[in-house]
Structure 1
Amino acid sequence: MGVVSEIARRSASRNAKLAKIPLGIAGRAAVGFGKKLVGGDKTQINASLNQKAAEQLFAVLGELKGGAMKFGQALSVMEAAVPEEFGEHYREALTKLQAAAPPLPTEAVHRVLDQQLGTKWRDRFSSFDDTPAASASIGQVHRAVWSDGRAVAVKVQYPGADEALRADLKTLSRMTGLLSSVIPGADVKPLLAEITERTEEELDYRNEAANQRRFSAAFDGNPHIVIPKVVAAAPKVIVTEWIEGTSVSAVIKAGNENPSGTKDLRNRVANLLGLFHFSSPEVVGLLHCDPHPGNFLVLDSGKLAVLDFGACAPMPSGFPEVLGRMLALAVADEHAALTELLYEHGWVIPGRKVSHEEIEAYLRPFSDPIRTDTFHFTRAWMQRVAGKATQFSSPEMKTARALQLPAEYLMIFRVLGGSVGILAQLDAELGFMKLVRTWVPGIRTDQAS
């Protein structure tokens, strides 16, 4: 039980499992409506329906692995935006997807290693633990010892992951309306489009190895950030140094249980995460594009270790200078000039019109972190922002429908959104504007002087 022989490859089989989600939710909604008609407690009935919908959604996504689980993991970082009335069940179900999936059988793992590292792959290891230490959307991680005595992590891609990933993403793209209703505040459609776009490069672990080697070299000797070195790589297997630490998921859990006792730790983690994401484009020329708590570890030394470099966006010149100029104008409340810049650089859909008053009103809910040097990211703040961002009939949404995100900014805002989600889960304070003024051209302090 719980062990999958292989990812279900056939599209019909996977579609049938994904189809359970809308059918199950619709059925429960009908039952709930019937209970309300006979005088059942509306709040209690809604809570029960939401709990069952969440459990089913994330159980199916986790079981399928592939694109379905990858989508679930991307959603999980937005857990802080889920309104409180949807309860802890959403939080728990979302968080489970950050690390959990049924393991691949040992013989299947050995078969992949035979194909990728050669039939004498055992000679390259002093020892290899057949029990997986962790699982991910398209692979699972085993602990081993390399022939030179180094502890290593061996990530093995699930057989059929490529076909499954493509099939899932195609199916999920047809369910965006339903998924948006189950996960309030999540902008599902662009999230899926972006995951689909990055699929092919993530399926070849040699791309991940190349990205990780660049990060590892750039951060080598850094006093705050640790990147494990790549030991070996093949299309479906990657071997990296093993890093021992406490996952940021565990730090978030500890913060929920003991807010006052973990405050300093949570703030330190937030500032390290901010430093990593803001500095990477300039230091490495790449942006790490998979921000969820399972990809970050706090070491005993106090440093932050970063894992999983399958999704990275090239930024050879650091952050775009125009982005900094936009931020500077927003900070200075110069919305007329900001609106001109938006038109000039393709942020307004051709043929649409927006005024600077509309831009100012649209940005107001999101602009709190740029109003002070240090900002406290909380679930309550994020829920408020997400609530405003999803009021379809509001003037702000009318403005949003006139705007578009140019392609070169898509991953920046994906990482920003995911990182803010983690910060809100951490309930942490971050010197946000200090990082902006240090690392973003166009608003950088040394440029302003």
Structure 2
Amino acid sequence: MTSSVAGNMAVTRFLEAARGNRPGLKDLLLTPANIQRIADDLARMRGAAMKVGQLLSMDTGDVLPPELNQIMARLRADADYMPPKQLKVVLNKNWGNTWLQKFERFDVRPFAAASIGQVHRAKTRDGRDMAIKVQYLGVARSIDSDVANMAALIKLSGLLPKGFELSPYMEEARRQLHEEADYEREGECLRDFRQLLQDDDAFVVPEFYDDFTTKHVLAMSYVGSQPIEDAVKLDQARRNRIAGNLVTLMLRELFDFRFMQTDPNFANYRFDPQTDRLVLLDFGATRRFRENIVDQYRRLFQKGLAGDRDELKNLAHEIGFVTPETAPHHQQAVLEMIETVFAAVRTHAAFDFESTALMQKMNTAGSALAADGFVPPPVPMDVLCLQRKLGGTFLLANRLKAQLPIREILERFVTPKPMRNGGNTADGEGI
């Protein structure tokens, strides 16, 4: 793959030089032909390499040209399927050679595929309608080498800011991928989320079946639904309700549960068009947050909504968006980006997610920072996961063209609770 991409870059550079142009490395790399080749090869490789590709290809609205977004969408949507023979090997290894006797029906062709597994529909002889996620053969063993190869490819691309330390992020990717390859862990997270949301009619979480689950096979109830993107065809009120439930869920995960599914891939959210209930899938990237991180974000939202510039600056340092070593003019630029977001939220009764004004402002500011040599400091991984979830939820609401009273929704979660019995504790409960 690398040789092919390098060859394409060399040919393009020669052709552009013949025309009197001197394209930069980024322009040579990010051509449709190269992105197509990378997307196709990572989809064929599956496993950790494709997972890292999915993270890098997160839907970014107007950041990438439409052609590149369309090509990279393949990594968010599917992978090549396991051949039936390989599927049988995996199931025999996990369930024993007589596993088929327990099923009334087992669909060999998967109805969904992702980075490290594919999903089959089946019906057991005791009547359970199941969705069964089967991990690709050898994925867990290949994680370390795949992540190392992806790190090498990213470094060779020349797209990283000078001085940016990639190693901590790739090490976290390696650690997280090993967690996601443990389907027994994912099953426990699925069960915990189902219990947390059991009384919330806005959501459906599949039932976990531990008697068919192993480290490499995850069994859950099948839930009929449609892709979340299809909800864009609904009227404004229904789109607002769905998006509002998504935003509220994210805030509950952070402030109430301190337990969050941190992968906002669109494929992880589906909906029932009869009830508009959201179906939540894929809990492999679920993470528990330390109380200090939750407190920092609560104060960040409080001070942002209040327009308290001095406290926002303090929190930008405390959370790790900037450090004392960050150049003063870069600190100022980062603070202005944070203020831009809160100004948009504060000043509108209903925030219009379809409007591209805020995204364009942030993209312009971010590009200017990068061009000026800003090197992002290594933030805590909890913060990195939270920022990804915040950004992904924003993009989902943007895709749904939602209009939401975001300030009002945020205030419900971050406004300090009134004191009772003459005092209050850190979490707002009366003494």
Please give the range of the TM-score, normalised by the shorter of the 2 chains.
0.7 to 0.9
Out of 363, 366, 369, the position equivalent to 2:341 is: 366
Q: 1:188 to 1:347 in 2, by over 3 A?
A: closer
Change beyond 3 A, Cα 1:218–1:60 = same
Residue 294 of structure 1 corresponds to which residue in structure 2?
A: 267
Q: Which amino acid aligns with 2:12?
A: A
What's the offset of the Cα at 1:353?
6.7
* Residue identity matched to 2:118: Q
Go from structure 1 to structure 2 and tell me whether the alpha carbon gap of 1:166 and 1:47 turns closer, same or farther (over 3 Å shift). closer
Correspondence for 2:424: none
Is this contact kept in 1: 2:316–2:335, CA < 8 A?
A: no
1:142 to 120, 131, 135: 120
Structure 1 SS opposite 2:76: coil
Matched, 1:245 2:225: yes
Q: Alpha carbon RMSD of aligned pairs, Å?
A: 3.4
Q: Distance in 2 between matches of 1:280 and 1:64?
A: 33
The one-letter code sitting in structure 2 at the alignment partner of 1:349 is T
- Picking from 378, 384, 387, the partner of 1:413 is 387
Aligned counterpart in structure 2 of residue 36 of structure 1, from 16, 19, 29: 19
Shift of 1:122: 1.8
Task: Look up the SS of the partner of 2:379 in the other structure.
Answer: coil
1:146 to partner: Cα distance: 2.4
CA distance in 1, matches of 2:3, 2:417: 53
Amino acid at match of 1:200: H
Shifted more, 363-372 versus 210-219: the winner is 363-372
The answer as to 2:135 corresponding to 1:162 is: no
Alignment of 1:50-69 (within 5 A): 50-69=31-50
In the alignment, structure 1 residue 79 sits paired with structure 2 residue 60 = yes
- The letter for the 2-side match of 1:432 is I
| Partner SS for 2:31 | helix
Instruction: State the alpha-carbon separation in 2 of the partners of residues 189 and 245 from structure 1.
Output: 39
Q: Distance in 1 between matches of 2:180 and 2:208?
A: 16
Give the whole-Å Cα distance in 2 for the aligned partners of 1:32 and 1:250: 42
* Pairing 1:1-400 to 2, within 5 Å after superposition: 17=1, 19-20=2-3, 22-34=5-17, 36-37=19-20, 50-83=31-64, 86=65, 88-177=66-155, 181=159, 192=170, 194-232=172-210, 233-251=213-231, 255=232, 263-299=236-272, 300-315=274-289, 320-343=294-317, 348-349=322-323, 351-352=325-326, 354=328, 360-371=335-346, 372-378=348-354, 380-381=356-357, 382-392=359-369, 398=374
CA deviations over 1:140-198 (Å, ceiling 9, x no partner): 1111012321211110001111233322211111233566859xxxx998865543231
Deviation at 1:208, TM superposition (A): 0.2
Compared CA separation, residues 329 and 212, structure 1 to 2 (3 A): same
TM-score, normalised to structure 1, is: 0.79
Q: CA deviation at 1:54?
A: 2.5
- State the shift of 1:377 in Å: 2.2
* Distance (Å, rounded) in 2 between the aligned partners of 1:318 and 1:336: 20
- Looking at structure 2, the residues matched to 190 and 269 of structure 1 have their Cα atoms a distance apart, in angstroms, of 36
Shift in CA distance, 159/344, structure 1 to aligned 2, threshold 3 Å = closer
User: Secondary structure, in 3 states, of the residue corresponding to 1:37?
Assistant: coil
Q: CA deviation at 1:48?
A: 12
Instruction: Give the paired residue count.
Output: 408
C-alpha distance after superposition, 1:27-63 (max 9, x if no partner): 353254146339xxx9xxx899732232222112211
Deviation at 1:309, TM superposition (A): 0.3
Question: Do the aligned partners of residues 178 and 367 (structure 1) sit closer, same or farther apart at CA in structure 2, a change above 3 Å counting?
Answer: farther
Q: Tell me the SS of whatever aligns to 1:313.
A: strand
Q: Distance in 2 between matches of 1:419 and 1:78?
A: 11
TM-superposition CA deviations, 1:189-215 (whole Å, max 9, x none): 886554323111111101100100000
What is the rounded CA distance, in whole Å, between the counterparts of 2:94 and 2:38 in structure 1?
34
Runs of at least 5 residues in structure 1 that lack an aligned partner in the other structure:
1-16
Q: TM-score, normalised by structure 2?
A: 0.82
Quote the Cα distance in structure 2 between the aligned partners of 1:79 and 1:343. Answer: 26
Asked if the contact 1:24–1:53 (Cα under 8 Å) also holds between the matched residues in 2, the reply is no
How much does 1:311 deviate?
A: 0.7
> In 2 relative to 1, CA 340–319 (structure 1 residues): closer, same or farther, beyond 3 Å?
closer
Higher RCO (CA-CA < 8 Å; seq separation 6+): 1
Read off the aligned partner of 1:422 and give its amino acid letter: L
Conservation of the 8 A alpha-carbon contact between 1:29 and 1:49 = no
SS at match of 1:131: coil
Aligned AA for 1:294? A
Distance 1:224 1:391 in 2: 41
Q: For 1:388 and 1:375, how far apart are their aligned partners in 2?
A: 21
Give the whole-Å Cα distance in 1 for the aligned partners of 2:196 and 2:310: 40
The amino acid of 1:157's aligned partner reads Q
CA contact (8 A) 1:132 1:142 kept: yes
Cα distance in 1 for partners of 2:203, 2:128 equals 20
State the alpha-carbon separation in 2 of the partners of residues 208 and 95 from structure 1.
25
- Structure 2: distance between partners of 1:23 and 1:393: 24
Off by >6 Å, runs of 4+ in structure 1: 46-49, 187-191
SS at 1:320's partner residue?
helix
Task: Tell me the alpha carbon deviations over residues 81-127 of structure 1, each in whole angstroms, 9 at most, x when there is no partner.
Answer: 424xx2x3222212222222111011211211111122222233221
User: What residue number does 1:10 align with?
Assistant: none
Distance 1:375 1:179 in 2: 38
Q: What's the secondary structure of 1:390's corresponding residue?
A: helix
Residue number in structure 2 paired with 1:425: 399
- Kindly tell me: are residues 306 and 354 of structure 1, through their superposed partners in 2, closer, same or farther at Cα, counting changes over 3 Å? same
Distance in 1 separating the partners of 2:29 and 2:306: 47
Give the secondary structure class of the aligned counterpart of 2:120.
Answer: strand
Where structure 2 has 5 or more consecutive residues not aligned to the other structure, the ranges are: 420-427
